[in-house]
Structure 1
């Protein structure tokens, strides 16, 4: 097998494409021949030693991938050799083969292409857990999605529309706003024009008739958090999804009191571990929605697996719409 190996987590430049022995699966594991792997923001942080999970060195990055089961370990009964699966295991994806815990593998229905499958779990599981489970989104409510042209943002638009919500999508360019409208957003905000320091709050107020959004989906953090939260509706729910802009914001808690609003943490990874049955049901729901054509990952582009450094550079430029996927 071949893999991108991180022997020293000082950044992307330290990764090397190496030939390694193909491993045998242990108890509870499967060997997957990887067809496609997507690039997520944590994949950048982990090779910079900035992610909360710090795998033992050396390791192969790549948190999310899809492929074919080539061998099963002892005790694995729900997966068979030759079966197509998707997996989000945190590491191992930027390679030709990897070992994965069988319990983390999502069996794929026939007709689910590997490129879409590799870009599916993280964005849709996060967004469905956020909007439906944590925010209890109801039909007719208004959702403001920040960072709406990124992976989780594009998923949030589709899932919010499927739930019957009105969606306001905020993104950083006219091109990205146009994509959001194609995905079903009812209104868009270009926040390079309506910046957090100037008219972002005014534009949110205008688009909601002064009421404010019922739910704010925030994977961005930084300077966007406080003006967005100040704009929230009475009994609104502010979903803390991530901090793609870098800084972790501080919010004055009196704002929560004044609006009767909730600040709601979204940690899908721990939800999946702590509530595996609920997560499995949710993943089945999402797979069914995909097969019915209700949701579909936005793929910015696909690149050969050997072009991983180029993919990292593209992601770092913040020009990506949806997901980047690497293929073998």
Structure 2
């Protein structure tokens, strides 16, 4: 074991943000195939907000270290890993474990961050960028001239989706709170205030024939409305159940309902299609294919950041030891951009 200190944020159970615990331990050494990453930036996503409530559908048992993704320098490599990786800036999607000063990661699960992108900029587009890219290009196959509806277009995934869809030549209709409307207009998107009026009716006025794709993170009734807004040949991509974040009961049931609806709709004799997007699909059964796809897609996202096609939105940077304040801020809904934790 190393003399360096490992600092981790631990979620001990269903607690308020202030119930997060800071723990220290010796830094572990990488094993075969592993790389030890000195974390430079990790972030707060919607997943951690759900996990704190015990509402994320496949979260591990308490206690555990949250943190969906990370960016940092390779500090040491284990047996079987190219030692030339040491010193390189890497990004990794980990689902849990990212809220720490040092993280052991399988070297095959890392993606190198190109020069010219800061750790915080890269962090904003790891989970959010992969999600947006794969839904847009691998699920909905959005093309120039199409019209898409992005729910939560001011949020982490939604804002990247709006930028990527615009870059692809699509017309974007985005639901968002008013403070994001100027930003969306600057992209060429049409903003809608989801808190006022009948959103489906507003969308139909803008796209009388329906939209070619809907990206829905809300779940619940919104998924049904989204399906009925599709044009012939359109695709609904559901990727969450944010509307049930504060519910009680089974954490799997909201997702299972969405899956049941997509299966039912796809069985109907129509030209529309529905799918539920899971960023981890294929990870267990086709790891090599999963890794290759993740590396290819995140590389495309980083290239878009470098070219200006994506502007990373950073709300604030806080020390890792202030994770409780960061989570509280994220849950307030007042932050614009990603909240970055810096060990």
TM-score (norm 2): 0.86
SS in 1 for 2:231: coil
CA–CA separation in structure 1 for the residues paired with 2:30 and 2:58 = 23
Partner of 1:145: 150
Tell me the alpha carbon deviations over residues 13-42 of structure 1, each in whole angstroms, 9 at most, x when there is no partner.
Answer: 432112211111111111111111111111
In structure 2, what is the Cα distance between the partners aligned to 1:258 and 1:229?
Answer: 14
- Please, which of 95, 110, 116 is the counterpart of residue 115 of structure 2? 110
Distance change (3 Å), C-alpha of 1:259 and 1:170: farther
* Counterpart-to-counterpart distance in 2, 1:256 and 1:149: 33
Partner SS state of residue 222, structure 2: helix
User: 2:310 is matched with which residue?
Assistant: 295
Per the alignment, in what secondary structure is the counterpart of residue 176 of structure 1?
A: helix
- 8 Å contact from structure 1 (residues 142, 214) kept in 2: yes
User: Gapped runs of 5+ residues in structure 2?
Assistant: 1-5, 246-253
Q: Distance in 1 between matches of 2:49 and 2:196?
A: 28
Residues 68, 127 of structure 2: 8 Å contact kept? no
After superposition, give the CA deviation of every residue in 1:256-308 in whole Å (9 maximum; x if it has no partner): 84762111221222246632323322222222222212113211222222211
Q: Does 1:176 align with 2:180?
A: yes
Specify the alignment match of 2:320 in structure 1: 305
Match of 1:232 in 2: 230
Distance in 2 separating the partners of 1:187 and 1:79: 47
Q: 1:135 aligns with which of 135, 140, 144?
A: 140
- 1:216 to partner: Cα distance: 0.4
Q: Deviations over 1:125-157 (max 9, x none)?
A: 111111111111111000100011110000100
The answer to whether the 8 A contact 1:95-1:305 is kept is yes
**Structure 2 CA distance for aligned equivalents of residues 228 and 8 of structure 1:** 34
Change (3 A) 1:47 1:202: closer
Say whether 1:188 aligns with 2:191: yes
**Alpha-carbon distance in 2 for matches of 1:288, 1:318:** 29
Classify 1:294/1:272 alpha carbon distance in 2 versus 1 (closer, same or farther; 3 Å).
farther
Structure number with greater CO (CA < 8 Å, separation at least 6) is 2
- Identify if the C-alpha distance between structure 1 residues 58 and 73 changes in structure 2 by more than 3 Å, giving closer, same or farther: farther
Distance 2:16 2:234 in 1: 39
User: How far apart are residue 49 of structure 1 and its match?
Assistant: 3.1
Number of aligned positions between the proteins? 321
In 2, Cα distance between the equivalents of 1:153 and 1:254? 24
Per mean C-alpha deviation after superposition, the further-off stretch among 304-313 and 262-271 is 262-271
For 1:222, the equivalent position in structure 2 comes to: 220
Measure, in 2, the Cα distance between the counterparts of 1:84 and 1:163. Answer: 29
- RMSD, matched Cα: 2.2
The 1:178/1:59 distance shift into structure 2, 3 A limit, reads: same
Alignment partner of 2:104: what SS? strand
Could you say which residue in structure 2 is the equivalent of 1:122? 127
Change (3 A) 1:47 1:263: same
* CA deviation vs aligned residue, 1:95-144 (integer Å, no higher than 9, x gap): 21121221221111112100011121111111111111111111100010
Compared with structure 1, are the counterparts of its residues 89 and 69 closer, same or farther at alpha carbon in structure 2 (3 Å cutoff)? same
Equivalent position of 1:279 in the other structure: 294
Which shows bigger deviation, 71-80 or 310-319? 71-80
Match of 2:3 in 1: none
Which secondary structure does the structure 2 equivalent of 1:268 belong to? coil
4+ long deviations beyond 4 Å: 249-259
Structure 1 range deviating more: 71-80 or 150-159 = 71-80
Q: Which residue of 1 aligns with 2:202?
A: 203
Moved more, 65-74 or 85-94: 85-94
Tell me, what secondary structure is at the counterpart of 1:214? strand
